[in-house]
Structure 1
Amino acid sequence: MSTPTLSLPAPPAVSSEWALFLDVDGTLLDFADVPGDVAVDPGLIDVLAVLHGRLDGALALVSGRRLAQLDELFAPLKLPAVGLHGLERREDGHQERHPRPVALDQAVAWGRALAQRYPGARVEDKGTTIALHWRAAPDAEDLLRQYADSILIELPGYHLQHGNMVVELRPDGAHKGSAVVDLLAHPPFHGRRPVFVGDDLTDEHAFQAVCSHAGFGVLVGSRQPSAARYALHDPAAVRAWLEEGLDLA
């Protein structure tokens, strides 16, 4: 199958003046039907470790995963990171978490009962949020979307965030863009040109945030429209671009 033509140019080489923010699934890592099945090449961990040092610490992972999952995936690295699309954040060793409402327990139980009708469908309990996945069961999409709409009534202060073959119920307010802006207010990110690399609709807030701070976004894939200024084809292209950045001045 031919590779789709990108509508945006390739990004410039990584600069030592940047603050670099990296999405994980679909950006650094190839998707898996089950999020726990993704694989991290040890070579990527080495590249991230070197770039983190050369950027004086101004490299962060920004993900829908929990921070504990990120630390497990990228061990022994423990980078500055944003988890749950902004509901968890770690900088300088300090970690913040959003509280979990009691109503989520029943919502998870009901959702998992529904998902059993479609082998491969999955309801992921992230603590503060719920993610309903149908990547391995496309026929479950309508049911899971309808269920997500219905349980919003039981979760005031929550909204739906749509992604790539997933919908997530999450608290209002925090998102990847607001988390990036918060990080930019503090060392080692403050005063640097912010660059965000991501693939999904959930990354658009972050693209907009870095653009408003004299930076730019790099879209992974050919999805349009997007606030990103540059694009790379796929996670393999992202990993190659980062590795080339080891030669930055």
Structure 2
Amino acid sequence: MRQSPEATPPFLTPAATALPPPPTLPTNAALFLDVDGCLLPFAPRPDAVEVPPALLARLTVLQQALDGALALVSGRNLATLDQLFAPQMFAAAGLHGVERRRLGHTGVAGDVPSALVRARDAAIALIDAHPGALVEDKGAALGLHWRMVAPEHKAAAELALRAFAAGALTGLPDYQLQPGDHVIELRPRHADKGSAILAFLEEAPFKGRVPVFAGDDLTDEPGFSAVNTHGGISVLVGDRAGSAARFRLPDPAAIHAWLGVPAGDPNPESAR
């Protein structure tokens, strides 16, 4: 039975002390899953990740078992999600909720302001001074990565990319900065993962179900809060402190086990 928010225990701020989630999903779950750092370990480049066949097969089974109430909720855009999880096409929210589509529908790409195009071109020129830095063009959003920068130069690259993003923001009044794991993003401010989850919960097949959301990053915090207010299950992947998530699992492998993905399938190693 669905709990009211008042009956749910308060969240545990230190993530390392949070308990694992219930061993099985509720039969009437509405399942929302972050991708990078949650379903998939981080790779040196965003385009270097792969979806293990056993994971894709299990997500397909779960989608059917939940009558379609499974959605990917990611910072990637919908087009990239569809490439990663092909041939399946799941309900999904992309660009941290800026793009959203129901199961069986096609997504609509967000508009790209000319100021963001200019920022992208300037960022591409900037990273020449920081070998290993990467510009990720997401269409309506822009990601600046420093994961692959040599350790002795990483701090300088991070400082330069953050300063660049802050400067670019002045020409993008409808955008905000979104920090992440070795990345800073420029993205539209009118949506987040929490608003995307709440929108799904207003529609079939998600409506009336117990929301479950697993994610790892700061961008997932609005999703955790949204799920908590609906008496659901919020799961932080990793050991980051200061999270609204009520439960914790250590890594993507633990998420796979929790979701029932068969063990032993090849899985890319994290390159944190």
Q: TM-score, normalised by structure 1?
A: 0.94
Tell whether the 8 Å contact from 1:135 to 1:166 is kept in structure 2 after alignment: yes
Tell whether the 8 Å contact from 2:68 to 2:103 is kept in structure 1 after alignment: no
Report the more deviating stretch, 24-33 or 112-121: 112-121
Aligned position for 1:39: 50
Tell whether the 8 Å contact from 2:56 to 2:85 is kept in structure 1 after alignment: yes
Aligned position for 1:90: 101
Structure 1 regions of 5+ residues with no counterpart?
none
| 1:238 pairs with one of 247, 252, 255 | 255
Residues of 2 paired with 1:22 and 1:157: CA distance?
27
Residues of 2 paired with 1:62 and 1:76: CA distance?
18
Q: Within the alignment, does 1:126 sit opposite 2:138 as a pair? A: yes
> Could you tell me which amino acid in structure 2 is paired with residue 205 of structure 1?
P
Residues of 2 paired with 1:67 and 1:16: CA distance?
27
Question: Which runs of structure 2 are paired with 1:10-89 in the superposition (5 Å)?
Answer: 10-12=20-22, 13-89=24-100
Matched positions, count:
241
Tell whether the 8 Å contact from 1:60 to 1:79 is kept in structure 2 after alignment: yes
Moved over 6 A (4+): none
1:70-122, Cα deviation, whole Å (9 max, x unpaired): 11111111010011101111103333443211111110011111111111101
Residues of 2 paired with 1:92 and 1:241: CA distance?
23
Residues of 2 paired with 1:223 and 1:207: CA distance?
14
| RMSD (Å), alpha carbons | 1.4
Residues of 2 paired with 1:244 and 1:74: CA distance?
15
1:144-187, Cα deviation, whole Å (9 max, x unpaired): 00000111111111110111111111111201000000000000
> Could you tell me which amino acid in structure 2 is paired with residue 128 of structure 1?
A
> Whose RCO is larger (CA < 8 A, sep 6+)?
2
Report deviation, 1:232: 0.4
Tell whether the 8 Å contact from 1:89 to 1:97 is kept in structure 2 after alignment: no
Residues of 2 paired with 1:233 and 1:36: CA distance?
24
Tell whether the 8 Å contact from 2:55 to 2:261 is kept in structure 1 after alignment: no
Aligned position for 1:7: 17
> Could you tell me which amino acid in structure 2 is paired with residue 212 of structure 1?
T
> Could you tell me which amino acid in structure 1 is paired with residue 140 of structure 2?
T
Aligned position for 2:114: 102
Aligned position for 1:221: 238
Report deviation, 1:244: 6.5
Q: TM-score, normalised by structure 2?
A: 0.86
Residues of 2 paired with 1:119 and 1:37: CA distance?
18
Identity of aligned residues (%): 53
